[in-house]
Chain A
Amino acid sequence: MVVNKFLMQGSTAIAANSTDNNVLDKQRYERAPGLCVGSLYVNGSAAGLYCELNIGGGSVSGPVLCNASNRVPVIPDDVLISGWLASPNAKIELSVTNTTGGVLTAYWKAELQLVKQRR
């Protein structure tokens, strides 16, 4: 069976005034399964979450504000950034910071689409 699309989705509680360095830690496709073009969707349960995307040690975004929709991300409404490339085996890191005094939930979804290369 040929698989050319991959998905990671989940929710992570972020303690007050703290950072989760990588919410994608221990996920199956934490490292890109091949040359992929990806889309990232992130929601917070309330205002005050910031997230940052790094691919293979390179920064795709600095800390950017997440929306506060309190739901599992809906496509395409909750897209944060799409069209980024991940090389084979590159580590995908999504760091989430909670700047508030309460525990917030980060809802995240990362879609990876395998890119076919001509030889």
Chain B
Amino acid sequence: MYAYRCARTGLYFPSDYVEQWGRKYGHGLGPTPVSEALVNDYHFPVVHQKNEGDPVMVPVGVCRAQVDLVEISEEEYNSKRAILQTEDPKMQQRARIMWARQMANSQKVRNANPGMESVAAAIEVPGKPAVSEPVTVEE
């Protein structure tokens, strides 16, 4: 089957992703089809609120990476299928996944040098896309 692959997260979008851009997908993302997969923004200064019990989540945003048409098996598509904005408009499913990834990566980011490249390398988790796979917290 055909699918569109996000160049940054490795997640797969449906085969009509580009054709239906602006109709079913990509609301508010402009005229050019890009990936709507979410990524964590570890560089944004986190604002701590009063009486916070839980660790504060860093902001998330769409990655806007390039999408490429690829031919893959149905099993692979289902294993790395992106959760679409239309399926999860309030971000409840995706926020849970992003939160787990932040918990796993925040210590690495804190220990990394402030240089952009080393921070980017620290938050890179090979083989794990940013959104749809279940995330295990590394110790």
**Interface of A toward B, CB cutoff 8 Å:** 11, 13, 15-16, 44-48, 65-71, 77, 99-105
Contacts and interface: CB of A to CB of B under 8 A. Distances in A.
Interface stretch (B58-66, B70-78, B104-112, B113-121): B58-66
Interface of B: 27-30, 36, 38, 41, 44, 46-47, 49, 56-64, 85, 89-92, 94-96, 98-99
Contact of A99 (B27, B46, B49, B90): B90
Nearest to A105: B59
Given A47-B85, A67-B28, A100-B91, 12 more contacts: A13-B47, A15-B49, A47-B62, A48-B89, A65-B28, A68-B36, A69-B30, A70-B62, A71-B64, A102-B38, A102-B57, A102-B99
B44 A13 contact: yes
B131 to A, nearest CB: 11
